[in-house]
Amino acid sequence: MVALTLVLLTLGTVAATDILIDGFFDSDDKAAELSFRWTCQSVNLRDSPSNRTTPLLLMYTVNRVGNMSDNTVCRRIEAGTKVLFGPKPGITASYMKSVSKYVEIPLINIHHEIPSGSPDRQGIGVSFFPHYLAVSRAHRDLIKFWGWKKFAMLYVDNDGLIRLQEIFTLSILPDVKIKLRQIDVRNPQSFLDLFIELKDAGEYRILVDCHVTHIHKLLKKAMQVNALNEYFHFHFTNLDFSIVDFSPFMYSGANITGMRMVDLENPKAIAVVDRWKKDLERSSFSLSPIGRDQTQVSIGAALMYDAIKVLYRALDLLTTMRNVDFKRKVSCDEGYNSLPWFNGKALVNALKTVTYEGLTGRIQLDKNGDRRNFTLDIVKVREKQLYKIGRWHFRRGVKITDKSEFLSDDRGNVLTNKTLSVVTVLEAPYAFRVTEGNGTAQYEGFCIDLLNSVADILGFKYNITPEPSGNYGNCDGEHCDGMVKQLVERKADLAVAGMTITYSREEVIDFTKPFWNLGITILFRKPMAPPAELFKFLSPFTSELWAYVLAVYIVVSVMMFVIARLTPYEWDNPYPCDVHNEALENQFGIMNSLWFTIGALMQQGSEISPKTTSTRLVAGVWWFFTLIMISSYTANMAAFLTIERMENPIGSAEDLSNQNEIKYGTLESGSTRAFFAESKARLYKKMNNAMRTATPPVFVKSSNEGERRVMEGKYAYLAESTTVEYRTARNCDLMQVGQQLDSKGYGIGLPRDSPYRDKLSSAILHLQEEGAIQAMYDKWWKQKNIDKFCDNTKTPSTKALELRNVGGVFVLVLTGTFCGFVIALIEFVCNARKISRKGESTLWFEIKQQLYFALRCCKYRKVPVTVASMADIATEETRTTLLLEPTNEKGAALGDNGEDTCLVDHVHGKDMSVHRAEKQNTSQSIGKNDEISNVENSSEV
């Protein structure tokens, strides 16, 4: 035991009130011991109130726990000690609690302790160290602010586990998983196995509760197994965290944080630390509790400084209020002198009353003597020094003052000159391998250009590794695959590909802001052009409409025939020259009626025209009908002949789900399949069930395979719109069907809590604002690796007609002409037969004669005709009048100009036309002795 009594010569003859205080210190608590000595001297020299007639003098004694005997505490109490400063928690501290309670000597604690059972020190002791539950709550609030959902907690002993209990309450939340591991500090080699286990388990957020002397060892072992890099976050609960030498770990890239009580930005703290440093510079025997190269203050030294300052003010308050006998003897032994010190509780109450702004902030004890009203600085390790990023207040919680901490860790500067490992999926146009002439393999594509631009902005380098499976990946429970697995296991720093941002992926990895927006759509083969149709001209109307047109044509023709026969005004004298003729003729016979209506329908007209109101009305409505029908036909005909109409069997996802002929599928691993598997919409659930149960399987391993199956027919490929647009731009036989089924985006994937996320996102936003990403898209979708760009956005245009478009019209003309020829032959044969029956020649002779007569290429034709007498002719059914001239030498009755001659006689003011003989051969039967030979027919050929 070392005792030191300080006599103040400056007091002169003025009597002082001596107060004996004893401090008990462990061998590793040197800073607190020095602070105890220095502060007592400082208080005696500087802090005596000027209005006091009797100054207070602190007579302190330093006791080292390792050199104490069993009755040291009691001997010091019997020597007159009225205040005890306890050591660190242990056997001695527990013994001093019992003694101080028995003799009512105040016990002041400045160390972290965990009270047992009932409040043992009720009324006789106070603690300046913050209550352990309040400290635990501070760390819990910080973890909640960071949003940790999965982390590991390392502790040394059971006390450490108790100190972490407030943090452990987070595990009751359904989305928070906490892994507990105990540290064996006696075996530092076990640290390696521990960090390897945590690394393999994907535990990259680690909260550590240990003694300050173990922090450096833990970080050193973590560095040996590469568990101290950009992806790891170590948070230490020890409030002496700031005095550790972190210089070996400042450039590791890891996020190392903790809390401290001493705010070195506080003017009071700055002043005290300056005085300690000046004392250290003046003398090598200085009692300064801070080292020469030390920039941080240990919590023990700071709390001891504050405790003595508060004690001095409490003593001053107590002696002002009452007379205190500091000389009264107190003994631990039972007997006459075993009465407690009656002013002990009063002094404790005075300690609870005092409020003081010290090195550790505002000090105000509660009714139990605990300190709960306090603030903590949140600090993190950065280059060259610890950096304050925020504060925790017992009422207001976490307040971050460093803006970079609001979104993520501000470690983006580690990207400069950093070489990142990049994983990608080789799929055009996002990324693909190109072999140069010298055999060197390089990577090109939309995502590679994006990566190059981002790397130029942020100043990092990269190495590309293709994903062996070629899958983008997802996680199903604990099992992950593809690029997602690479990021979860921290085998890659970035995943740069056409990787969609989805909820399931966001649960296990991080993404930058999307660099391209897209959605799911359908890739399908364009329907084949319909085969050429000879009767394409019938397409403007349906078969039903053509049937109605034919029916109306027949009905109108028959009605015209009937109405014309009913009305008296459609009957005429066929021989106007014969006014006494009683026979009448109607021009609208059934054949003529059909001819009249078909002429109007074909817009050609005919030599027949109605004469009366009834028939003209029918003709008018028929002409109006034909006007509308022909106009509609003409308008529709242009489109049908110039634009090929191809019927698409599907037009949307609903069409796909409602049929069974066309199969449809997605990539076997990716966001598109996950969309259908996780969707709650009835349509997409139905489609997902159909795809899962389809035989053969409809899922493909790559988009190339998907395109191949689409081209084979009877298959629709569900993919992202960017993939579909790329395929349809290069294969004009493909098309996009329907609208996008959802809306999402591509992003760069990173491991969880990657320090690069925000810097990469900022670079992406910069490129988007410049239009650089749109230019990259146009380059790889519309310009590169394309022979002919298929612009599927254009509407079908007209084109020149080909024979196959109008061939049916030619067939119709040829068929009609042929039919007319056949009918003419039939009429020719029938006429020859009729002549042969009335004459003496045979049928074949007449056919030969008539054929010879018909095929002569002369303007005039001569045929032997026997002319009957006028009386006989008048009886003929045709009522034809033949007016014959004497024959010339050729035997023909001709006029002067060689034309036919016709006599016109005016009878009752009317012209009587001379009709040509329609049947020359009938004259042979009229009077055998009146035969006229060589009568020349004046009809022109």
Tell which residue, 491, 379, 457, 338, has the closest CA to residue 770.
457
| Rounded alpha-carbon distances, angstroms, from residue 357 to 262, 362, 391, 776 | 12, 4, 17, 61
Cβ atoms 311, 59 nearer than 8 A: no
- Please, how many CA atoms are within 13 Å of residue 15, restricted to the half-sphere of its CB? 1
Could you give the CA distance from residue 196 to residue 490 in angstroms, rounded to a whole number? Answer: 13
Instruction: Provide the token pair at 686.
Output: 């139905």
Report the run of H or E that residue 461 belongs to, with start and end. Answer: strand 461-466
Q: Are 99 and 129 in contact (CB under 8 A)?
A: no
Distance, in Å, from the CA atom of 155 to the CA atom of 152, rounded to the nearest integer, reads 10
- Distance, in Å, from the CA atom of 443 to the CA atom of 467, rounded to the nearest integer, reads 14
Q: Please state the φ and ψ torsions of residue 61, each to the nearest 5 degrees.
A: -130, 135
Strands 419-424 and 461-466, bridge-based pairing: parallel
Q: Is 798 exposed, middle or buried (0-12, 13-18, 19+ CB in 10 A)?
A: exposed
Q: Which residues carry a binding-site annotation for L-glutamate?
A: 500, 505, 671-672, 720
Structure tokens at 750: 């990173």
CB under 8 Å to 206, separation ≥6 — which residues? Answer: 151, 152, 153, 154, 198, 232, 233, 234, 235
- CA–chain centroid gap for 287, Å, is 65
C-beta separation of 126 from 351 below 8 A: yes
Select from 58, 32, 7 the least CA-distant residue to 313: 58
Distances (CA, A) of 165 to 169, 209, 268, 487, 718: 6, 12, 34, 32, 51
- Compute the distance between CA of residue 148 and CA of residue 173 in angstroms, rounded to an integer: 12
Burial class (CB in 10 A: 0-12, 13-18, 19+), 476: exposed
Compute the distance between CA of residue 254 and CA of residue 382 in angstroms, rounded to an integer. 10
Q: Tokens at residue 454, please?
A: 């981002």
Q: At what angle do helices 843-854 and 803-838 cross, to 10 degrees?
A: 130
Distance CA 547, CA 550 (A): 5
In terms of Cα–Cα distance, which of 480, 519, 386 is closest to 752? 480
DSSP-derived secondary structure for 274-297: HHHHHHHHH-TT---SS-TT--S-
The token pair at 546 is 């053509």
Query: DSSP characters for 857-879?
Result: --SEEE---PPPPHHHHHTSTT-
For the record, the structure tokens of 498 come out as 């056409």
Task: Give the residue ranges of the annotated binding site.
Answer: 500, 505, 671-672, 720
Neighbours of 345 (CB within 10 A): 15
Q: How far apart are CA 290 and CA 872, in angstroms?
A: 159
